[in-house]
Structure 1
């Protein structure tokens, strides 16, 4: 029990030497430490699941999850332990505001992979639809590259077949007219094979010859176009078959699937929002606990302890500053005095030289006189 208590107090970042003097605050920091610890555990689970969806490796997921969980744990511990109650809610709130913003950001990062795990079944079903849509889009892009060429070939084939059909129709009509003239069912209405029949028969023969000539001219082109179109369709089919049908279910795809589900279902959207708010509440709970709690004996002792060091530091800094000022003043005044003495000595030397020079000039003048 003591080991667990010591561990959670360590998680809270409390100073044990100060807390031992005020045991009434122990439960408060045990609760804060427990919250920080379990936030780190949730971060480990979240990161582990996120990495498993990326690498499909339990080893990588566990290793990265441990690193991420420890990092979040250490960051939360620092955020909470660095908050000092100085008195006054608004003053404390302004101090805590950057920490709250960071806690909210961490909550959003932690909550998203766990949301994906909670809605995993719904997301897997949506991923199947998204996968089919992706494959269909890939197939459409391939077909779009060939559609214009295939359509042009099919249009030309239709045009050539239309010419053949027109020639065939003309031949059939001419042959029918000659037959009707021969049996008396049409034309002149007289059953015979006279000049009129022979003329119509000649027309039919000419139409047949034109049809044969047109077929000989157009059919090879039609066959070539049909072969080209078949080759293009085969190429389209080959490229579609060769598409990489890799597993569709990475982190980005799952987030997109969850977003699509939320846009269609208010229940899923609201559930996702509430999960995110839950993690924000968990992550910011230690900060708000310290923020709304009145100053406890621990806070007063901690403030006093820090104030002693602060005053000692100010005193030491002041003493050192004064010592530096005194040394500078001493050096300055000594320097000024030294300079003044040097100037006076230099003046005396110059005056002595000038007197000697004048005396020398006076002696020379006396000797001349």
Structure 2
């Protein structure tokens, strides 16, 4: 796990304990990674049969982290200056720190599990109360008069469909109320006019002076005319019928208001039951406390108490240091005899490789020279055969020409 060559380490057995301890640190970080991943998966899926899936995943994660730490340690073997060490180990330390934060978070959540769960419950209660308030605001109950207020803005998706809303009776009541009020105003105006006409006839008949009056008492023509006009106005204005109609409308409105009050009460109860059912449905959906809720609750706890925030950061830092420890130990370790042997062997292998490459190159060059000589000789032979053929052709041609 420390990434050493056992055969080379056998030459310096006094350093075996050092590298055995370094390998143990790597195994320790892999074990913590296993616990962290198992805790995270348990928070996400819950305990029970899901452990059959969580344990293999946690083991795989542990193997990956252990192999990564082994690579971090093994890449630092050999004799290096502090500058070389920094160039080699610094980026690896950054990666190890990031990995340590990822590993530490689920472990921290497990350590502060009770406080985190309590905070999640409080947050859920606040959210559920706000959800219930929104439902009540977006689904207002009828007022004392049985009127349902208009739905406010920003209530998309929050309105509830309720069959018992007394909408039709409310519309009928409003219509009857408008009709009654208009007719009552007319009756009041007609009564006022009728009283004026009757007062005018009474003053004329009694001989009371005034504008438009004769001032003569008795049943004169003006007295009879004013009385007839008052009676005719009473008949034409249908004052008696309208007064009876207003009384009938008032009686009907009283009955309708009583019925509307009962319907509004029933509607309000049904609305309350539906709101309670929606809130209960939301609570049922919350169920298991997931990893995201725990992380949010941990952030809230950090903001509530400075002491708790310091404790959380110290625990997180502790596990980050543990995960960084393999690379950190290797980075801070002094030069060992194994490092010198390791570097010397690498140098010897490098030189041997260069020597083999040089020999191979020379051999290739020699073989190339031999090949060139063979090619030259073959070319000379080919030229000689070609010259013989040309001479023979010329001799034959000259013989023919003779």
Q: What residue number does 1:312 align with?
A: 352
Q: What residue number does 1:50 align with?
A: 40
Q: What residue number does 2:8 align with?
A: 18
Q: What residue number does 2:326 align with?
A: 286
Q: Deviation at 1:289?
A: 2.3
Q: Deviation at 1:299?
A: 0.9
1:146–1:236: 8 Å Cα contact kept in structure 2? no
Paired with 1:348 and 1:267, the residues of 2 have a C-alpha distance of: 108
Paired with 1:101 and 1:154, the residues of 2 have a C-alpha distance of: 68
Secondary structure at 1:94's aligned position in 2?
helix
Among 62, 65, 71, the alignment partner of 2:55 is 62
Among 325, 349, 358, the alignment partner of 2:389 is 349
2:176–2:249: 8 Å Cα contact kept in structure 1? no
Among 78, 96, 100, the alignment partner of 2:93 is 100
Paired with 1:234 and 1:292, the residues of 2 have a C-alpha distance of: 68
Secondary structure at 2:335's aligned position in 1?
coil
2:303–2:309: 8 Å Cα contact kept in structure 1? yes
When residues 31 and 347 of structure 1 are mapped into structure 2, their CA distance, relative to the original with a 3 A threshold, is same
Q: What residue number does 1:28 align with?
A: 18
Q: What residue number does 1:254 align with?
A: 294
1:116–1:254: 8 Å Cα contact kept in structure 2? yes
Provide Cα deviations, 1:236-288, integer angstroms capped at 9, x if missing partner: 54972655524141122222222233344433433333333222322222222
CA RMSD of aligned residues (A): 4.5
Greater helix percent: which structure?
1
Provide Cα deviations, 1:323-368, integer angstroms capped at 9, x if missing partner: 233333433442343234323322331232123212321x2xxxxx
- Summarize the alignment of residues 1-369 of structure 1 with structure 2, pairs less than 5 Å apart: 11-56=1-46, 57=48, 58-132=51-125, 135=128, 140=134, 144=155, 145=157, 147=159, 161-162=173-174, 164-165=176-177, 203=239, 205-210=241-246, 212=248, 230=267, 233=271, 237=275, 240=278, 245-361=285-401, 363=402
Question: Which stretch has the larger CA shift, 260-269 or 351-360?
Answer: 260-269
TM-score normalised by L of structure 2: 0.67
Secondary structure at 1:245's aligned position in 2?
helix
Instruction: Give unmatched runs, 5+ long, in structure 1.
Output: 1-10, 180-186, 364-369
Paired with 1:265 and 1:39, the residues of 2 have a C-alpha distance of: 30
2:37–2:58: 8 Å Cα contact kept in structure 1? yes
Paired with 1:273 and 1:279, the residues of 2 have a C-alpha distance of: 10
When residues 112 and 210 of structure 1 are mapped into structure 2, their CA distance, relative to the original with a 3 A threshold, is same
The higher-RCO structure (CA 8 Å, 6+ apart) is 2
Paired with 1:237 and 1:331, the residues of 2 have a C-alpha distance of: 98
Question: Which stretch has the larger CA shift, 338-347 or 137-146?
Answer: 137-146
When residues 297 and 149 of structure 1 are mapped into structure 2, their CA distance, relative to the original with a 3 A threshold, is closer
Q: What residue number does 2:213 align with?
A: none
Query: How many residue pairs end up in the alignment?
Result: 334
TM-score normalised by L of structure 1: 0.72
Paired with 2:308 and 2:169, the residues of 1 have a C-alpha distance of: 54
Q: What residue number does 1:8 align with?
A: none
When residues 266 and 334 of structure 1 are mapped into structure 2, their CA distance, relative to the original with a 3 A threshold, is farther
Paired with 1:157 and 1:235, the residues of 2 have a C-alpha distance of: 22
Question: Which stretch has the larger CA shift, 306-315 or 206-215?
Answer: 206-215
Q: Deviation at 1:318?
A: 2.6
1:127–1:248: 8 Å Cα contact kept in structure 2? no
Instruction: Give unmatched runs, 5+ long, in structure 2.
Output: 140-154, 192-197, 203-226
